[in-house]
Amino acid sequence: NAGVMQNPRHLVRRRGQEARLRCSPMKGHSHVYWYRQLPEEGLKFMVYLQKENIIDESGMPKERFSAEFPKEGPSILRIQQVVRGDSAAYFCASSPASGLAADTQYFGPGTRLTVL
Amino acid sequence: GDSVTQMEGPVTLSEEAFLTINCTYTATGYPSLFWYVQYPGEGLQLLLKATKADDKGSNKGFEATYRKETTSFHLEKGSVQVSDSAVYFCALSDLLIQGAQKLVFGQGTRLTINP
């Protein structure tokens, strides 16, 4: 059973460009979470999605950031017009909808975004 | 809101030393508590968890007990190895809508074990 997949692992963008980060959850998991880790800090929750629905985006900046989890395909975190402060590691996690493991999130390897 | 406070690092120990990394939390409800480990350049791996008061989570020689009276979840290991060098994150689950839970993380503690 493959784990959570994220790509790309490393992404370099110039200021003003767009960044697209992809996440495929573990098989059988329908809940996807995105977190951001700034250098030398802990992870901060950004958004929680289920298929075709954003459930909670309370941790996501109001401008330039968006997320989706379409019926088919991976979840996408999109950052428009990137700035240097967006440089961070972005982690995706997934969990099953129910059952004993529903409170446990499994993390992908992360995408490290560098904005020049 | 809910929060997690971890012992500040970095922590440097010699191989076979006893390890304690302190973690305390504030929460309005009854969260589950977790320790995650992050090796250099990698994502987070679940190390152990506890879902209710007095539960003890354990894995790979690491242990942590959910102490409701002191709101703590300290990580311990009796004899550390060089391979335990990593960053350790304490976290709690905070309820979102529709039954899902987000994780609230501490700032992380960098652990280095010298041979």
CA distances from B3 to A71, B31, B74, B111 (A): 34, 11, 15, 22
Unique residue bearing structure tokens 């459930």: A55
- Residue A53 and residue A67 in contact, taking contact as beta carbons nearer than 8 Å: no
**φ, ψ dihedrals at A62, nearest 5°:** -70, -25
Mean pLDDT score of chain B, rounded to an integer? Answer: 92
Do the chains contact at A42 and B89, CB–CB below 8 Å?
yes
Confidence class for position A110, pLDDT limits 50, 70, 90: very high
8 A C-beta contact, residue B63 and residue B56: yes
Cα separation, A90 vs A104, in Å, equals 18
Residue A43 to residue A36: CA distance in whole angstroms: 5
- The residue of chain A with its CA nearest to that of B31 is A103
Interchain CB distance below 8 Å, B43 and A104: no
Judge contact between B94 and B104, C-beta under 8 A.
Answer: yes
Q: A37 and A27 in contact (C-beta within 8 Å)?
A: no
Mean pLDDT of B41-68: 93
The rounded distance, in Å, linking the Cα atoms of A42 and B52 is: 24
Closest CA in chain A for residue B51: A103
Question: Over pLDDT 70: what percentage of chain A?
Answer: 95
Kindly tell me if the per-residue pLDDT of A103 is higher than 80: no
Q: How far apart are CA B64 and CA B62, in angstroms?
A: 7
Q: Is the peptide bond prior to B10 cis by the omega test (within 30 degrees of 0)?
A: yes
Banded pLDDT at B1 (limits 50, 70, 90): confident
Name the minimum distance, in Å, from the CA of B42 to any CA of chain A. Answer: 5
CA A36 to centroid of chain Cα atoms: 8
* Nearest CB neighbour to A104, from listed B49, B98, B108: B49
A38 shares contact with chain B (CB less than 8 Å):
no
pLDDT score of B57 more than 90: yes
Instruction: For residues B29-57, give the mean pLDDT.
Output: 91
Q: What's the pLDDT at B37?
A: 95
CB contact under 8 A, B100 and A31: yes
Mean pLDDT of the region A17-39: 93
Confidence of residue A48 (pLDDT cuts 50, 70, 90): very high
**Helix (H, G, I), strand (E, B), or coil: what is residue A86?**
helix
* Chain A hits for B4, Cβ within 8 Å: 42
Are B19 and B77 spatial neighbours (Cβ–Cβ below 8 Å)? yes
Cβ contact, residue pair A109, B42, below 8 Å: yes
CB-based contact B97 A110, cutoff 8 Å: no
Quick one: which of A85, A86, A87, A105 has its CA closest to A95?
A105
Mean per-residue pLDDT, B97-114: 86
Rounded to the nearest angstrom, the minimum Cα separation between B31 and chain A is: 10
Q: Which of A20-24, A25-29, A96-100 has the lowest mean pLDDT?
A: A96-100
Chain A residues near residue B46 by CB distance under 8 angstroms? 104-106
Q: B13 Cβ partners below 8 Å, 6+ apart?
A: B19, B80, B111, B112, B113, B114
| Rg value, chain B, Cα | 14
Residue A49, pLDDT > 80, answer yes
Decide: A25 and A34 in contact? Cβ < 8 Å: no
Interface of B with A (CB under 8 A): 4, 32, 34, 36, 42-46, 49, 51, 89, 93, 96-108
